[in-house]
A and B are shown apart, each in its own frame.
Chain A
């Protein structure tokens, strides 16, 4: 079964600094990868998804992620953090199990943005 690992359960950055949230996956076939964001007391919202069309994927709110097969990574970045980016971020992979596609989520990274 596939899995995802998010390094760092908490990340703090200063406003205006680079945001880098790490995600590594395990997969024997081309994966379908996703990043979701969760704001307090809300459900998860899709930030971006990788579907093999391009290795650099642009998402909403200025976020992007780069798929690196050699490193089995799909790290999320944003050049300049805003206070409004404070949230929890989840990496996920779509896995086929018994003929059905299901998502496998990482344990999440909580991003704190310092003024």
Chain B
């Protein structure tokens, strides 16, 4: 009963380095999301995938790219990390595009960019 699994849990990058955050869900959910959480700002949507084969920008997409590899996996890539991308990143999924489907969250990736 893993739910949403994110890897890695922690990461430290230097400015300009790249990395990919991995997310996988085993609940057969159609929609997947990437959020960042910063103190006092709640959760802000970076990118989402309403269904397999589609991706769209959220509120704060600059500096990020995503790939919906298959129905289970949705990765987030930082091509050239910046200190402003220091944050906690959460992947989430839900069953469908319906408006009352609850989100299921992973435990997050804590990223520090120096």
Interface residues of A, Cβ cutoff 8 Å to B: 9, 32, 34, 36, 41-46, 49, 51, 90, 94, 96, 98, 100-103, 105-108
Q: Are A103 and B103 in contact (CB under 8 A)?
A: yes
B76 shortest CB reach to chain A, Å: 15
Given known A43-B4, A44-B90, A45-B105, contact A106–B99 (CB-CB < 8 A): no
Q: Are A94 and B99 in contact (CB under 8 A)?
A: yes
B side interface size, CB within 8 A: 27
User: Chain A contacts of B102 at CB under 8 A?
Assistant: 34, 46, 49
Query: Which of A32, A43, A51, A107 is most buried by chain B, counting CB atoms within 10 A of its CB?
Result: A43
CB-based A-B contact count at 8 angstroms:
59
B28 sits at the interface (CB 8 A): no
Q: Name which of B38-46, B60-68, B78-86 contacts chain A.
A: B38-46
Query: Which of A32, A42, A51, A105 is most buried by chain B, counting CB atoms within 10 A of its CB?
Result: A105
Q: Are B48 and A102 in contact (CB under 8 A)?
A: yes
Among B55-114, those with CB < 8 Å from A are: 56, 58, 90, 92, 97-108
Q: Are B90 and A43 in contact (CB under 8 A)?
A: yes
Interface residues of B, Cβ cutoff 8 Å to A: 4, 33, 35, 40-45, 48, 50, 56, 58, 90, 92, 97-108
A47 shortest CB reach to chain B, Å: 10
Q: What are the nearest 10 A-B pairs in CB distance?
A: A43-B105, A107-B42, A105-B42, A105-B43, A101-B99, A46-B102, A94-B99, A32-B100, A51-B100, A44-B105
B114 shortest CB reach to chain A, Å: 21
Question: Could you list 14 A-B pairs, sorted by A, with CB under 8 Å?
Answer: A9-B40, A32-B99, A32-B100, A41-B107, A43-B106, A44-B90, A46-B102, A94-B99, A100-B97, A101-B98, A101-B101, A105-B35, A105-B44, A106-B42
Q: How far is the CA of A98 from the CA of B34 in the complex (A)?
A: 18
B89 shortest CB reach to chain A, Å: 11
